[in-house]
Structure 1
Amino acid sequence: MKFIIKHEIKGRLRIHFVQERMSYEEADILLYFLNGLSNVTEAKVYERTADATVSYTEDRQKIIQALKTFRYEDIQVPANVLESSGRELNAKYQEKLILKALLHYGRNAFLPYPVRAAYIALKSVKYIWKGVRCLAKGKIEVPVLDATAIGVSIFRGDVKTAGSVMFLLGIGEILEEWTHKKSVGDLARSMSLDVKKVWLKREEQEVLVDASEIEPGDVVVVHMGNVIPFDGEVAAGEAMVNQASLTGEAQPVRKQKYKYVYAGTVLEEGELEIKVKAVMGATRFEKIVAMIEDSEKLKSSVESKAEHLADRLVPYTLAGTVLTWLVTRNTMKALAVLMVDFSCALKLAMPISVLSAIREAGQYKITVKGGKYLEAVAEAKTIVFDKTGTLTKATPTVKEVVTFGLGNEDELLRIAACLEEHFPHSMAKAVVDAAKKKGLDHEEMHSKVNYIVAHGISSYIEEKKVIIGSYHFVFDDEKCQVRPEYREKFDRLPEEYSHLYLAVDQELAAVICIEDPLREEAADIVRELREAGIENVVMMTGDSERTAAAIARKVGIEEYYSEVLPEEKAGFIEKEKAAGRKVIMIGDGINDSPALSASNVGIAISDGAEIAREVADITIMASDLHEIVTLRYLSRSLMKRIHTNYHSIIGINAALILLGVGGLIQPTTSALLHNMSTLAISLKSMKNLIEEEKL
């Protein structure tokens, strides 16, 4: 690749790439390549000038050498990186804003007054027609106010004011549309599927294959707790499917043979064989976008109140205009009231604030499904942590397999992996990974696998019942026994590990000891959450009292509950809500989904079960828990910004009305100052909240 170093200081290069033009896709590929270099700390690519700036730590020559060998066609960029860059969208709206400003000021500078007046009068028809249509529906809302202000100005021959009002309204519409499309697009893409492996039914056997190998007409098997990966028709089975991620409906829907299912919905109970119709859920992105745009329930109550207040203020503004004219008989003073309305700024600034906050959360690898949930995070007083995969790392590992006379370690680990690979849980993944490391390949040796949430798995191998799961499931529910000669060995099981019990024909065969290492940042997170205003930090786990007490002590949590079932987690959250406290639930497993649904805001960790991510209101994709604290501060800053905007809008516009009625400023000036203040507040609302908080 040919390039020229245009400018250089220590640790930073500005490079120009020698090519006719750089496309948006090429710019994204180059940025992906530069960010992938080990010593690059920051890179920016400017497609218009075919330039790039690169900040680096050391070894300048390494960057130069990499750029010399760089070719666009050699770089394999993940599809989602190109789709979600937003580069083309941003360029499109920047051009729209520049073009609108150039045309507006160009017309004022070069067009003769009669031509300009005719153009503005013609353009005003669109706004006046919107106002008329709004009145025809029996509503007195913002379009009526805009139409009245523009119509009265045209009637009085004040085309300059009418033109300025329409120009600033147009700028506001472009900014709102730009922010809305970017935020909704980012949110929809982050909610899109990332399914890598699926169970393909082939000759009556289930075979684990790459999702990319599936074609329309193939039959895939989806087990309980997994996300349905493709649009398709049920070929066999019966199940309850949670479709909230697409339709917003809270209750799961029964699906059976010949019923249609959609990619991204979650199989809560049962099992389905699905004949694939659309590979990778081809229409899912559009469905999610439609759901986000149409779903009023995703708006925060503060945002909704502001929008409703905006509509309610319109009749008062019109009434104030008429009253001012009746009292003063001065058209200019009456127009001063009409030119300044509160509703325009309220309706524009509030949604932009929320959508910008959702976009900013995305920069920290946090996916938020609506402003409602940011408000809940800001107001929450209680936070509940599941232990496994949240306070502890999402990558537990098998440290030891203790056998009890029914087979050797490898054989029993092979059986455990064969059962566990069908179900989504970090403990199950640890068992499967351990078998792979030992090269313990297997065929599907068991019959139908039954999964009991928060308990374990049962099946049959060669007509022998095999179960694997918790102590409570194996010994209390299934009444399995430990042979007398192994009782002492059983009592000496290492206490520092979590235990997974495997039994064959009612006798304990093995205990798989799993190390569930605590996250290094866990204790700091608990402390920082308290500093951020969380009053009650709670841990709930299905593990034993011994394990739960040790973890709680290490991270500084005083209130914890051990050996709890999913419904008990949800029950605790309901009690907290009944006491008037807003609750955040953080979990990663299939057994956390009831609690995630019950909480005011459910947060899922990205490495956890797919059902947890789908049911949750917020997903954290980052590698550690510090983003929970970031989310708390971002949410509180958003609420602060919304309230600040509200008071600014009320104060500025009230002052402008008083100045106009007092005759101190002209209606044209009122309109200009009103629209400029609206634009300024909207632009300020697009700034990053966390950076502002740090200043």
Structure 2
Amino acid sequence: MKIIIKNEIRGRIRFCLQKKRYTAEEADTLQFYLQSLPGVTAVKVYERTGSAAVCYTGAREDLVRGILAFSFDKPEYRALVPEHTGRALATKYREKIIMQVVNHFACRMFVPKPVRFCRMMFRAAGFMRAGGACLRRGKLEVPVLDAAAIAVSILRGDYKTASSVMFLLKIGDTLEEWTHKKSVEDLARSMALADRKCWLVGDGDKEILVNVNDVHPGDIIAVHTGTVIPLDGKVISGEATVNQASLTGEGIPVPKNAGAYVYAGTAIEEGGLRIQVEHAKGATRYEKIIRMIEESQKLRTGVESRAESLADRLVPWSLGGTVLTWLLTGNTQKALSILMVDFSCALKLSMPVTVLSAMRECQEHQLTVKGGKYLELLAEADTIVFDKTGTLTRACPTVADVIPFGENDWDEMLRIAACLEEHFPHSIANAVVAEAARRGLGHEEMHR
């Protein structure tokens, strides 16, 4: 594939392929392919302009060769893309905001004035209802400020200002919704299943190590002790205790046997299962994580509660400032500007997003936090109890020596051991398999 280098500096290159624009799928394929190249530290793909920027270390020639080897048609490159990337969400809200802006200005330029007036009054009625509902509850909250700003503009006959206020409020609501959903999805992606391989039961009851993307509904997979279940499905044979804490928060393992349903992302603590896959690529796990995060947000931190309380307490001050400004200046426009300068929305949004960002940061360091409440409690802890040393150690042992018994060959013993151990994710098993690979010892299935 040919590329056009638009600009470059040391350690960064920006280029275009032979496409003027990428689809979301193509942009994701290119991005995750580039991220898989050695020496690449950061990638940004711009689907609207058909270009990509890559930050890298190492030789420029190696990077260029890797880029030239790329093709959108190769299935192995498409397989690098996780199920949820966030690009679709960004595209959805970006287009939503663009349409809101276009509709607002197109209406102002081309729609007859009487129709614009009816449309404005219809939209204003929604804000009035929200403000009235707050007053009926005996509360002065942000909807009261919005309704007051719109109502005063309409009473003054300043319909253009009223329409602009509603437009800006709508844009603000969309940005707030986008920010929150993006934070939740970013955290969910960081918690989503990272395992890319699983054992597929083939002909003759033989277990074959395959990519998770190659497993389809109806296939049977084998999951052993200490392994994370990669896909949702029903148990057809075997018995095991399954830790479901990653989805349900239950600390006690649940027994599973034939006929039981198991979920991707849960882990087998003891035993083994044969599972008939029902949802390929862990289709339901992502949604379960999203629900778990949304439930965890109900465990509000004290800081979040105080921020929300402070935001509500600012509303009377904003109303008082509006009245005072009008009394001092007699200028309604200046008084209205006080209503529009309101910080309560920012306070209410910033704290939950901050907590979600902190949870995401913890997840990137292999720490799962299931609610902002626990982050706050951790700051008050003075003693931490660990249940085992494996919680603290890196769990990366290496093979120091192989001592064969009898007349057995050293390499043959390591090959057989690696063949057996590759079915288990334990750190010692990984060390044996890694040593066999380092010595170039292949080990096809040698056991029954």
User: What's the TM-score bracket when you normalise by the shorter of the two chains?
Assistant: 0.7 to 0.9
- Counterpart residue type for residue 243 of structure 1: Q
**Per-residue deviation, 1:62:** 6.3
**Per-residue deviation, 1:335:** 6.7
Evaluate the alpha carbon distance shift between residue 220 and residue 95 of structure 1 in structure 2; reply closer, same or farther with a 3 A threshold.
closer
Task: Please name the residue that 1:168 is paired with.
Answer: 168
- Counterpart residue type for residue 170 of structure 2: G
Q: Distance in 2 between matches of 1:56 and 1:422?
A: 36
Tell me if structure 2 keeps the 8 A contact 1:84–1:186.
Answer: no
Superposition RMSD in Å: 4.9
Q: For each residue in 1:501-520, what CA deviation from the matched residue of structure 2 results, as whole angstroms up to 9, or x when unmatched? A: xxxxxxxxxxxxxxxxxxxx
Evaluate the alpha carbon distance shift between residue 383 and residue 244 of structure 1 in structure 2; reply closer, same or farther with a 3 A threshold.
closer
Q: With structure 1 as the length reference, what TM-score do the two structures score?
A: 0.51
Q: Distance in 1 between matches of 2:65 and 2:425?
A: 44
Q: Distance in 1 between matches of 2:54 and 2:417?
A: 50
Task: Please name the residue that 2:266 is paired with.
Answer: 265
Task: Please name the residue that 1:350 is paired with.
Answer: 351
Q: Which moved further from structure 2: 223-232 or 86-95? A: 86-95
**Per-residue deviation, 1:160:** 4.6
**Per-residue deviation, 1:426:** 0.6
Task: Please name the residue that 1:292 is paired with.
Answer: 293
Matches within 5 A, 1:375-394: 375=376, 391-392=393-394, 394=395
Q: For each residue in 1:441-495, what CA deviation from the matched residue of structure 2 results, as whole angstroms up to 9, or x when unmatched? A: 67557xxxxxxxxxxxxxxxxxxxxxxxxxxxxxxxxxxxxxxxxxxxxxxxxxx
Matches within 5 A, 1:284-433: 284-297=285-298, 299-311=300-312, 341-356=342-357, 371-372=372-373, 375=376, 391-392=393-394, 394-402=395-403, 420-421=421-422, 423-433=424-434
Tell me if structure 1 keeps the 8 A contact 2:227–2:424.
Answer: yes
**Per-residue deviation, 1:186:** 2.6
Q: SS of 1:73's equivalent?
A: coil
Q: Distance in 2 between matches of 1:107 and 1:409?
A: 81
Evaluate the alpha carbon distance shift between residue 111 and residue 361 of structure 1 in structure 2; reply closer, same or farther with a 3 A threshold.
farther
Task: Please name the residue that 1:121 is paired with.
Answer: 121
Task: Please name the residue that 1:90 is paired with.
Answer: 90
Matches within 5 A, 1:53-132: 53=53, 71-74=71-74, 76-79=76-79, 81=81, 83-101=83-101, 104=104, 116-131=116-131
- Counterpart residue type for residue 178 of structure 1: W
Q: Distance in 2 between matches of 1:14 and 1:410?
A: 48
Q: Distance in 1 between matches of 2:311 and 2:269?
A: 42
**Per-residue deviation, 1:173:** 1.6
**Per-residue deviation, 1:434:** 4.4
Task: Please name the residue that 1:562 is paired with.
Answer: none
- Counterpart residue type for residue 93 of structure 1: Y
Matches within 5 A, 1:475-554: none
Evaluate the alpha carbon distance shift between residue 320 and residue 384 of structure 1 in structure 2; reply closer, same or farther with a 3 A threshold.
same
**Per-residue deviation, 1:175:** 1.8
Q: Distance in 2 between matches of 1:66 and 1:373?
A: 44
1:189 paired to 2:189:
yes
Tell me if structure 2 keeps the 8 A contact 1:298–1:371.
Answer: yes
Q: For each residue in 1:302-343, what CA deviation from the matched residue of structure 2 results, as whole angstroms up to 9, or x when unmatched? A: 2244235545766x5699699979x99x99699787656553
- Counterpart residue type for residue 228 of structure 1: I
**Per-residue deviation, 1:20:** 4.7
Q: Distance in 2 between matches of 1:244 and 1:161?
A: 53
Evaluate the alpha carbon distance shift between residue 240 and residue 135 of structure 1 in structure 2; reply closer, same or farther with a 3 A threshold.
farther
Q: SS of 2:48's equivalent?
A: coil
Q: With structure 2 as the length reference, what TM-score do the two structures score?
A: 0.73
Q: SS of 2:278's equivalent?
A: strand
Task: Please name the residue that 2:247 is paired with.
Answer: 246
Evaluate the alpha carbon distance shift between residue 412 and residue 68 of structure 1 in structure 2; reply closer, same or farther with a 3 A threshold.
closer
Q: SS of 2:259's equivalent?
A: coil
Q: Distance in 1 between matches of 2:287 and 2:275?
A: 22
Task: Please name the residue that 1:226 is paired with.
Answer: 227
Bigger radius of gyration among the two: 1
Evaluate the alpha carbon distance shift between residue 11 and residue 141 of structure 1 in structure 2; reply closer, same or farther with a 3 A threshold.
closer
Matches within 5 A, 1:129-148: 129-131=129-131, 141-148=141-148
**Per-residue deviation, 1:125:** 2.2
**Per-residue deviation, 1:264:** 1.8
Q: Distance in 2 between matches of 1:396 and 1:284?
A: 31
Evaluate the alpha carbon distance shift between residue 140 and residue 167 of structure 1 in structure 2; reply closer, same or farther with a 3 A threshold.
same
Higher relative contact order (CA 8 A, sep 6+): 1
- Counterpart residue type for residue 353 of structure 2: I
Task: Please name the residue that 2:50 is paired with.
Answer: 50
- Counterpart residue type for residue 247 of structure 2: L
**Per-residue deviation, 1:414:** 7.3
Matches within 5 A, 1:529-608: none
Q: For each residue in 1:101-123, what CA deviation from the matched residue of structure 2 results, as whole angstroms up to 9, or x when unmatched? A: 56556766887876654433222
Task: Please name the residue that 1:159 is paired with.
Answer: 159
- Counterpart residue type for residue 280 of structure 2: V
Q: Distance in 2 between matches of 1:46 and 1:245?
A: 34
- Counterpart residue type for residue 293 of structure 2: I
- Counterpart residue type for residue 431 of structure 2: A
Task: Please name the residue that 2:281 is paired with.
Answer: 280
Q: Distance in 1 between matches of 2:318 and 2:53?
A: 53
Tell me if structure 2 keeps the 8 A contact 1:172–1:348.
Answer: no
Q: SS of 2:209's equivalent?
A: strand
Q: SS of 1:182's equivalent?
A: helix
Q: Distance in 1 between matches of 2:258 and 2:82?
A: 38
Task: Please name the residue that 1:459 is paired with.
Answer: none
**Per-residue deviation, 1:398:** 1.3
Q: SS of 1:424's equivalent?
A: coil
Q: For each residue in 1:613-633, what CA deviation from the matched residue of structure 2 results, as whole angstroms up to 9, or x when unmatched? A: xxxxxxxxxxxxxxxxxxxxx
Evaluate the alpha carbon distance shift between residue 273 and residue 45 of structure 1 in structure 2; reply closer, same or farther with a 3 A threshold.
closer
Q: Distance in 2 between matches of 1:409 and 1:63?
A: 40
Evaluate the alpha carbon distance shift between residue 162 and residue 254 of structure 1 in structure 2; reply closer, same or farther with a 3 A threshold.
farther
Q: Distance in 2 between matches of 1:292 and 1:378?
A: 21
Q: Distance in 1 between matches of 2:323 and 2:93?
A: 41
Tell me if structure 1 keeps the 8 A contact 2:226–2:426.
Answer: no
Q: Distance in 1 between matches of 2:60 and 2:348?
A: 50
- Counterpart residue type for residue 347 of structure 1: K
Q: Distance in 2 between matches of 1:65 and 1:206?
A: 39
**Per-residue deviation, 1:29:** 3.7
Tell me if structure 1 keeps the 8 A contact 2:416–2:443.
Answer: no
Q: SS of 1:81's equivalent?
A: coil
Matches within 5 A, 1:7-26: 7=7, 14-26=14-26
Q: For each residue in 1:318-371, what CA deviation from the matched residue of structure 2 results, as whole angstroms up to 9, or x when unmatched? A: 99699979x99x996997876565532221222333445556778889876654
Q: Distance in 1 between matches of 2:80 and 2:55?
A: 25
- Counterpart residue type for residue 166 of structure 2: M
1:150 paired to 2:150:
yes
Unaligned segments of structure 2, at least 5 residues: none
Q: For each residue in 1:265-287, what CA deviation from the matched residue of structure 2 results, as whole angstroms up to 9, or x when unmatched? A: 23345544433333333222222
**Per-residue deviation, 1:397:** 1.7
Q: Which has the higher strand share?
A: 1
- Percent identity over paired residues: 52
